[in-house]
Amino acid sequence: MGEKREQAMGLLKRMLAPEMAAELGKGPTGPSFAGQIGEMAMNNIFEPLWTDDTLDTRTRSLVTVSILIALRAYEELEIHFPAAIRNGATVAELEQVIYQASGYAGFPAAHSARNVAIAALGRAGMLG
C-alpha cells in the first residue's frame, strides 16, 4: 500500500463511524455489480483530495456537505454530516451550512438536508 493510500485510509477511519471503518478495512464486499466504485473513490477523491493539506479536513467537510446538499445527495449526507463533526466542524456550523444552502441550492434541498442531519447526527449521538 502506497503512502497516499495509507494516509487516505487513516483519514477515512477517523471520519467514519467505527462500524463503517471496520467494513472499510475488509476491502471490497457485497455484490460485484459496479464493484470498482469504491476503488474509484479512493483513487479519484480520497487519495488526491482529502490527503492534500491545502485545506484542513474540517473545511473540506463543510465544502463537501455544501456540495452534497446542492446535489440533493442525501444518502452521502448521512455519512458526511457525522464525518464533518469528527473532522472538527460543530453542529452550529452545519446548521449555518444548511441555512446558506437554502439561499443558493433552494429551500427544498436545505429542508431535506436538515431532516437527514437530524437523523444521522441523532443516530451518532451528536445532537444535544
In total, how many domains does the chain have?
2
43 and 64 together in one domain: no
Question: Measured at the alpha carbon of residue 14, what is the angle toward residues 13 and 17, in degrees to the nearest 5?
Answer: 75
62 and 111 together in one domain: yes
Model pLDDT, residue 20 = 83
60 and 116 together in one domain: yes
Name the 3-class secondary structure at 63: helix
Model pLDDT, residue 76 = 97
Model pLDDT, residue 16 = 92
Report d(CA 82, CA 103) in Å as an integer.
Answer: 23
1 and 28 together in one domain: yes
Model pLDDT, residue 93 = 98
Model pLDDT, residue 19 = 84
Reported pTM: 0.92
62 and 120 together in one domain: yes
Q: What is the CATH number for 110?
A: 1.20.1290.10
Tell me which residues of the chain have a pLDDT lower than 70: 25-29
What is the end-to-end Cα distance of the chain in Å, rounded?
40
- Percent of the chain whose pLDDT exceeds 70: 95
Model pLDDT, residue 111 = 98
Model pLDDT, residue 26 = 67
Domain that holds residue 73: 56-128
92 and 102 together in one domain: yes
Model pLDDT, residue 25 = 61
